[in-house]
Structure 1
Amino acid sequence: MLSIITSGVMAGAGDSCSIKLSGVTFTKCLNGAEKNTVVDSDVVTLTSDAKKDFFNDPGTGEAVGNAPVLLAKVDNAKPFTLTAKVSPEFKQTYDAGALYVYVSSTLWQKFAFERDERAVSRIVSVRTIETSDDNNHQNIGQPSVYLKISSDSKTIAFYFSQDNKNWNLAKLYKNEYPKVIWVGVSSQSPIGDGNKTLFENISLTHESVKDFRMGI
């Protein structure tokens, strides 16, 4: 059952909202995400309108931050793991569904299942500290993939899996985010006419993976 309540602008940008699933409650919505969200039996369909993205160009300095994002508050002094099955429509280049770590418009990271310039769907990570880097990872020969972000408060790591059993490490680095952060899901269509992404099996737990190389 869908439960969405909007109640004004929050500090740090975004609107207060309440989108409740069995595995997580999103309480902050960026760029009107609550209006673009449909929930049916814990399956979230998040729609990106045309020309929506998050990317702070390292060359030009141009910052785009208009994609819809659903976020849940996390105590970053404690372990956490966010996991979801991600299935974007993939109509145009750079269409994607993604998991996020978000602090502000100049401090965030997304872990995406994205269509690249050759129409190949692949894993992509973008880490933003003022400006964004852009890292293309393994291509995925299927319409869905499982994504995971996990932290023990000192280390943070990103993983992907095609079967929800065998996990592959995409990125691992020192967790230097502040004590309070936000994690969540997003859909984007930077140059296209819009993109819908299905998020299934969304889970936010208060523990980290035990093996940071294997992701389990």
Structure 2
Amino acid sequence: MSTESLTGTFSASARTDWFIDPATGEATASAPLRLVPVTGDFQLRAHVRVPLAATYDAGTLFVHGGPSTWAKLALERSPEGTDMIVTVVTRGVSDDANGVVVPTPGETWLRISRTGEVYAFHFSADGDRWSLVRLFTLGPVDGHEVGVGVQSPTGDGLTATFSGVSLVHETLADPRDGS
């Protein structure tokens, strides 16, 4: 599978996001995405470098299954001003789960793996040892696409760089063992 379209520097305009508010049902789907079709088990990984400034600014890896079925794994600026791993899983409405603060502000490795209908989200400081962030399903995977995105929901825009991108048909043996 070609990852050329997922590699490089991408920008988001001000006030862009992907989120369906669980309190109001208000849907926002304005952040730019670069997606590629994928079948079977796979692993998508990328090094993300992004100068996070405004709250919720983020560089993301993204799974898209439809307008109300998607998930994102993000390096995101928290309301406290730290750069952290955040996941959002959307099945009709979005949930929002904050994870750990990354060791190096503004950069990390992100990985999405799929085995059957189960997705695993991981992050890594070095691209070798991976920490599980989230394990979930979006249901049947026919037609799902994966890729990268950039968002700036409260800010004036943002540019992220995705490098070291690889998308391979490999089954992740154990999502919890760091491999």
Match of 1:3 in 2: none
Match of 1:199 in 2: 162
Match of 2:97 in 1: 135
Task: Pick the aligned partner of 2:17 from 53, 57, 80.
Answer: 53
Task: Pick the aligned partner of 2:56 from 94, 111, 131.
Answer: 94
Q: Quick one: higher RCO (CA 8 Å, sep 6+), 1 or 2?
A: 2
TM-score, length of structure 2 as denominator length: 0.94
Q: Which whole-Å CA distance do the structure 2 matches of 1:174 and 1:120 have between them?
A: 28
Query: After TM superposition, what 4+ stretches of structure 1 lie above 6 angstroms from structure 2?
Result: none
Displacement of 1:154: 3.8
Match of 1:152 in 2: 115
TM-score, length of structure 1 as denominator length: 0.78
Asked if 2 retains the 8 angstrom alpha-carbon contact of 1:209 and 1:215, the reply is: no
Q: Which whole-Å CA distance do the structure 2 matches of 1:174 and 1:130 have between them?
A: 13
| Paired positions, count | 178
Q: Which runs of 5+ in 2 are unaligned?
A: none
The percent of aligned pairs where both chains have the same amino acid is: 37
Q: 1:215 to 1:175 in 2, by over 3 A?
A: farther
Question: Is 1:103 matched up with 2:65?
Answer: yes
Q: State the one-letter code of the partner of 1:67.
A: A
Q: State the one-letter code of the partner of 1:207.
A: E
Displacement of 1:215: 4.4
Q: State the one-letter code of the partner of 1:136.
A: N
Displacement of 1:164: 1.0
The structure whose Rg is larger is 1
Q: Which whole-Å CA distance do the structure 1 matches of 2:54 and 2:31 have between them?
A: 15
Asked if 2 retains the 8 angstrom alpha-carbon contact of 1:151 and 1:175, the reply is: no
